[in-house]
Chains A and B, each alone.
Chain A
Amino acid sequence: MRTDMMTTDRLDTFGRVSGATLLASFVILALAAAGLGYSQSGLLLGLFVVLLLIATAFSVSRHLLSGRHPDNSDSVRSSVLSRGIVGWLFGVVLTVFYVILYWFPHLLGGMVALFDLPSNLLRGKDADQWFMYGTFYTLAVVLMGIRAMARYRGSRYHVIRTMSVMFFQLILAFIVPSILVLFRKPELYFSYFWPLDYDLLWPSSVEQLTQEGFLGAFALTWGIILTFVATPILTYFFGKRWYCSWVCGCGGLAETAGDPFRHLSDKRLVAWKIERWMIHGVLLLIVATTLLLWLNTLAGGAVLGSVSSGFTQFYGFYIGAIFSGVIGVGFYPLMGARVWCRFGCPMAAILGIQQRFFSRFRITTNGGQCISCGNCSKYCEMGIDVRWYAQRGQNIVRASCVGCGVCATVCPRGVLKLENGPGDGRFGDGFVARDSVEILRPGD
């Protein structure tokens, strides 16, 4: 392909067609919700899927037509990608959708009925709002995953990592739970663990799982081993990325559907300060909630009494639903795709503490090669001011880094490299600063 065809105007056109088609697919959903979903479910579902495929095809083409290095020329100018009027509207639509999904599902009406056919095929029963949501989620990860692979095709790290999140979402978070339902088994998700799956280790769930026979015992053992054994070991060797940008469904959505919005994360120091208070606050809350619930259970209800259900409802409502759902995804076009992962996720908090203090993972800065252009900071979805470290010749060792690798990909000078080196010298000796010492004391 002659790349002299790849003018930004042309790329913008592809992006606009893709966006318009996506909008049309939303209109289909609205028509379904308005009642057509009951009478015309086959037709509307077909149209919806075809429109999504067309939108994906145009978006993928846009990236295949631009160079092997990711083209970010639309992120500043496009209204939807730069908090313009379209971006705000999109954010409002997403947020309203989540509010309806969680608290006013009856308003979804015929939209849910649209998914009866796939639900019956997979689960042997009619769709409910959560099956519909899971289908949306999986479609977003898979279709936008294909787009992400096209955008980052110049780096095998991204291609393999994207395939990984697509696999875990499609198989472990969609098909397996559906098939379990088909066989009248409990709907289990093997890719989420405590404390992200916050009630997995609560007394009520543990009790329930132990009554589910082999499958329940397996799920419980799996969850406990992953939380307390596998997580520390994997995080020691690979950093938190093994989960956050390779396995996790929230991370999977952020890396695929959220990828176009990654630059909207706030890079200011003040955002980092707020982030640390919030994420560790949520971690404290879930640890305290879980411990209290267990104390309460062991003491036969003497500790909390009737308050215990209030506790669990509080966490489930404010953190589980509002934070991770409504804000976490609804705010994609306003604050980037990692709002939940950065400010709220207790799993990310634990992995982050370990990554910061007991891990081999770091992003190595290549000597004094940084030209301070700022592409790394701009496209960091976690809002890390990567340049701050890189221009000092320091390695980047930050609790929040999910190891997506985009900073290393967008760097025009090849300055950054994700590494699992030995712990010694992990923070880097600061190439630039070290040289200044040599200048001070040339004789040493």
Chain B
Amino acid sequence: MREKIVIIGNGIAGTTVARHVRKNSDSEIIVVGSESPFLFARTALMYVYMGSLTLTDIKLYEDWFWKKNRIQLRYDTASTADFSAKTIRLDGGESLGYDRLVLATGSRPNRLSVPGEDLVGVSAFYSLGDLERIQDLTRGGRKAVVIGGGLIGVELAEMLVSRGIQVTFLVREARYLESVLPAEESELIAGEIRSHGINLVFGETVAAVTSRNGRTVSGVRTESGETYEADFVGVAIGVGPNVEFAARNSIPVSRGIVVNEFFETQVPDVYAVGDCVEFERSGIGHKMIEQLWYAASRHGIALASNLTGVPVPYDRHVFYNSAKFFELEYQTYGSVPADSDERNSVVWSDGHRLIRIVFDPAKNTVLGFSSLGVRMRQAKCVEWIQNGDGVQDVVARIHQALFDPEFTRRLDRQAFRVQQVNPNVRASVS
């Protein structure tokens, strides 16, 4: 009798579990998804809005892929579970028995929790439904306010400005991504955003979304008393784990569905991966919730090997992430604390591009990299971090980690103004 694995959620986490279970085993695999019939690249929704891709283009696999890999899809919503009988029930009426159940329910956008947030003309930007709604709401639009200083906010701003809409971008913090990025990076990004005609305002917290007719949005009012006119308000203040199914069925949740380093929930034979999980405090000792495209895929691979082989604990490996702020590409590897300065890092910048190398001031070993406008080679950066190479060595060999296209003007280290140099590494930089 083949084992039957049922996965709730057909996003990148759930589908990665399915693909890798299939690679390793002959199990019966059923994936339930309610947002769309197929896996699509959530990361590419902005390109559909802007017109360079279609919805078909953002499917990760052709339609034959699922049948060929014997992954059964259900375009339906899972509502209830009976863990003693090992079955779940779908809204469409179907009952699915399982041997092991995987929850990959993703995340949902955080709510503002201010008056007026449910007015017509207010939307988050997360799902396919949000995309369609924003396409409708912004047709012929004139002015918009985007709330939230994260990665989705800047995507929304870029989308709206491409349609000729005047965008005010309200950020609660004093600088862009204050809790994640060092100050120089924040400044470069803010400059990039403003150069595209965005009215970027820091230090503003929204108090209310306003309306003149009580039905459609007319603008926002901030706690400082300032008002901003808008016919569309985009809310991008982060996402939180979607624990709806778990909570309804009494699977223990905290902020996310609580799992250990093997992705086991506290219900036997029920697992959870991706955006929706929160690792137990006793677990792996890093960030408790990882809501990243990359992390979801790594969770999926790890859980699949646990489901089909010898269980081993999840290891996040050397952290990495990337983003694009209008035309400015950003990459980061390893650890780059937001309070990095000259005591723990070397920075090259010519005012448009930037590379930062973070090191341990006590041992002088390299801990992390971030770059803006310069592409870095992940394998090289990770190798140096894992080897604990000395910062002087890395500075001298930094060209080995450049990943810019051929004929890119060579990153002349002499021409790059060295903004901050630790006395210990000055000699090898200048």
Give A contacts to B, CB under 8 Å. Answer: 2-10, 67-69, 71-77, 154-157, 160, 268-269, 364, 366-369, 371-375, 377-378, 387, 391, 405, 408-410, 412-414, 417-419, 431-432, 435-436, 438-442
Question: Is A372 in contact with B44, judged by CB distance below 8 angstroms?
Answer: yes
- Which one of A4, A77, A431 contacts B379 once the chains associate, using CB atoms below 8 Å? A431
Bound state CA distance, A157 and B375, in angstroms? 15
- Which one of B51, B298, B377, B382 contacts A72 once the chains associate, using CB atoms below 8 Å? B51
Closest to A268 in B: B62
Question: Is B58 in contact with A369, judged by CB distance below 8 angstroms?
Answer: no
B contact residues around A268 at 8 Å (CB): 62
Question: Is A413 in contact with B324, judged by CB distance below 8 angstroms?
Answer: yes
A contact residues around B162 at 8 Å (CB): 6-8, 73
Closest to B309 in A: A440
Question: Is A67 in contact with B326, judged by CB distance below 8 angstroms?
Answer: yes
Query: Knowing A372-B44, A408-B405 touch, does A435 contact B317 (C-beta < 8 A)?
Result: yes
Q: How far is the CB of B293 from chain A (nearest CB, A)?
A: 5
Question: Is A3 in contact with B195, judged by CB distance below 8 angstroms?
Answer: yes
Known: A367-B382, A372-B43. 13 other contacts (CB 8 A): A4-B198, A7-B161, A72-B51, A76-B52, A156-B409, A157-B405, A369-B294, A377-B57, A410-B52, A413-B323, A414-B331, A419-B406, A440-B309
- Which one of A7, A75, A378, A435 contacts B301 once the chains associate, using CB atoms below 8 Å? A435
CB of B100 within 8 Å of the partner chain: no
Closest to A405 in B: B405
Closest to A414 in B: B375
CB of B50 within 8 Å of the partner chain: yes
Q: How far is the CB of A273 from chain B (nearest CB, A)?
A: 12
B contact residues around A75 at 8 Å (CB): 51-52
Question: Is B41 in contact with A374, judged by CB distance below 8 angstroms?
Answer: yes
Write the B317-331 contact mask toward A (1 if CB under 8 angstroms, else 0). Answer: 100101110110101
Question: Is A368 in contact with B378, judged by CB distance below 8 angstroms?
Answer: yes
Query: Knowing A157-B405, A269-B62, A373-B44 touch, does A417 contact B53 (C-beta < 8 A)?
Result: no
Which residue, of B52, B195, B322, B327, has the highest number of chain A Cβ atoms within 10 A? B52
Query: Knowing A366-B375, A442-B315 touch, does A4 contact B197 (C-beta < 8 A)?
Result: yes
Q: How far is the CB of B281 from chain A (nearest CB, A)?
A: 22
CB of B413 within 8 Å of the partner chain: no
CB of B408 within 8 Å of the partner chain: yes
Instruction: Sort A-B residue pairs by CB-CB distance and give the 7 closest, nearest first.
Output: A4-B197, A367-B378, A7-B164, A373-B44, A414-B375, A72-B52, A156-B407
CB of B248 within 8 Å of the partner chain: no
Question: Is B301 in contact with A417, judged by CB distance below 8 angstroms?
Answer: no
B contact residues around A378 at 8 Å (CB): 52-53, 57
Can you list 7 residue pairs at the A/B interface with Cβ under 8 Å? A4-B197, A5-B197, A7-B161, A67-B326, A73-B51, A414-B322, A440-B309
Closest to A413 in B: B322
Question: Is B53 in contact with A9, judged by CB distance below 8 angstroms?
Answer: no
CB of B12 within 8 Å of the partner chain: yes
Closest to A385 in B: B62
Bound state CA distance, A368 and B299, in angstroms? 13
Question: Is A374 in contact with B50, judged by CB distance below 8 angstroms?
Answer: no
Question: Is B403 in contact with A366, judged by CB distance below 8 angstroms?
Answer: yes
Bound state CA distance, A156 and B410, in angstroms? 11
Bound state CA distance, A391 and B314, in angstroms? 21
Interface residues of B in 392-421 (CB under 8 A from A): 403-409
Question: Is A439 in contact with B196, judged by CB distance below 8 angstroms?
Answer: no
- Which one of A3, A369, A373, A439 contacts B315 once the chains associate, using CB atoms below 8 Å? A439
B contact residues around A405 at 8 Å (CB): 405-406
Bound state CA distance, A5 and B313, in angstroms? 52
Bound state CA distance, A309 and B302, in angstroms? 64
Closest to A418 in B: B406
Bound state CA distance, A255 and B157, in angstroms? 32
Interface residues of B in 36-77 (CB under 8 A from A): 41, 43-44, 47, 50-54, 57-60, 62, 64
Question: Is B375 in contact with A417, judged by CB distance below 8 angstroms?
Answer: yes
Query: Knowing A72-B52, A369-B331 touch, does A412 contact B324 (C-beta < 8 A)?
Result: yes
Bound state CA distance, A313 and B139, in angstroms? 57
Question: Is A157 in contact with B406, judged by CB distance below 8 angstroms?
Answer: yes
Question: Is A440 in contact with B305, judged by CB distance below 8 angstroms?
Answer: yes
Query: Knowing A377-B57, A439-B314 touch, does A9 contact B301 (C-beta < 8 A)?
Result: no
Question: Is A155 in contact with B405, judged by CB distance below 8 angstroms?
Answer: yes
A contact residues around B379 at 8 Å (CB): 366-367, 431
Question: Is A442 in contact with B197, judged by CB distance below 8 angstroms?
Answer: no
Question: Is B164 in contact with A439, judged by CB distance below 8 angstroms?
Answer: no
Q: How far is the CB of B403 from chain A (nearest CB, A)?
A: 5
CB of B426 within 8 Å of the partner chain: no
A contact residues around B58 at 8 Å (CB): 373-374
Question: Is B57 in contact with A418, judged by CB distance below 8 angstroms?
Answer: no
Question: Is B163 in contact with A439, judged by CB distance below 8 angstroms?
Answer: no
Query: Knowing A432-B297, A439-B314 touch, does A76 contact B196 (C-beta < 8 A)?
Result: no
A contact residues around B20 at 8 Å (CB): 436
Query: Knowing A417-B375, A431-B379 touch, does A391 contact B50 (C-beta < 8 A)?
Result: no
B contact residues around A364 at 8 Å (CB): 403
Question: Is A367 in contact with B320, judged by CB distance below 8 angstroms?
Answer: yes
